[in-house]
Amino acid sequence: MVRGLDGDGAAQNALLSALAPLMRGFFARRMRGAGDDVEDLVQETLIAIHTRRASYDRNRPFTAWAYAVARYKMIDHFRRSRNHVPFEDLEEILVAEGFQDAASAKMDVDVLLGGISPKQARAIRQTRIDGLSIAEAAESAGISEADVKVSVHRGLKALAEKLKGK
């Protein structure tokens, strides 16, 4: 880079050629294979790295500067294509979405189980959702194991009919 800054065209060519695959990897990893966009961004970034090389401070690490340019280009790309994906918070968003799914699934289950007899609902919940064994469920409800099995069986049948009826 420094030799390129000093006006050495061959060094600049070598630098940009070495950066191209790095940038391709950088964008490809973050954009899940939008091939044309990736190559466009690689080219735009190389142009910016070349034409704005005056903004590189020789006393600072070069890769940090180059990737900062690439990151800006990527954010600008998303802004232009109105595809708002805030990368910094992606993990949090995914976690929040997972939580929402789980919460609404739980609500659905509660509604469905509310529609059958409490004994059947309790048996299904304990053996199928909470993961208790038949023996444990029988003991906690104070009924026989056969009773638990029958309750689960009849409850599931009732649920299936309810769902079909909907």
Partner 1 sequence: MQTNDLIAALAADTRRISPRAAQQRLVLGLGLGMATAAALTIGSFGMRPDLPGALTSTQLWMKAAYTASLAVIAVLAMLHVARPDAGPTRLSWLLLIPVALLASMSAMELMTTPGEMWMPMWLGGSWRQCSIRVVFLAVPIFAALIWSFRQFAPTNLRRAGAAAGLAAGACSATVYGLHCGEVSATFVLTWYSLGIVAATGIGALIGPRLLRW
Q: How far is CA 71 from CA 18, 133, 156, 162, 164, in A?
A: 18, 52, 53, 53, 51
**Binding status of residue 53 toward partner 1 by CB under 8 A:** yes
Q: How crowded is residue 11: how many other Cβ atoms within 10 Å of its Cβ? A: 15
Separation between Cα atoms, residue 90 and residue 108, nearest integer Å? 27
**Binding status of residue 94 toward partner 1 by CB under 8 A:** no
Residues with Cβ within 8 Å of residue 124, at least 6 apart in sequence: 113, 116, 151, 152, 155, 156, 159
CB nearer to partner 1: pick between 29 and 79: 79
CB nearer to partner 1: pick between 69 and 132: 69
Q: Using CB under 8 A, which of the segments 51-59, 86-94, 112-120, 141-149 binds partner 1?
A: 51-59
**Binding status of residue 88 toward partner 1 by CB under 8 A:** no
**Binding status of residue 5 toward partner 1 by CB under 8 A:** yes
Which residues bind to partner 1, rule: CB under 8 A? 4-10, 12-13, 16-17, 20, 39, 42-43, 46-48, 50-58, 60-61, 64-65, 68-69, 71-72, 76
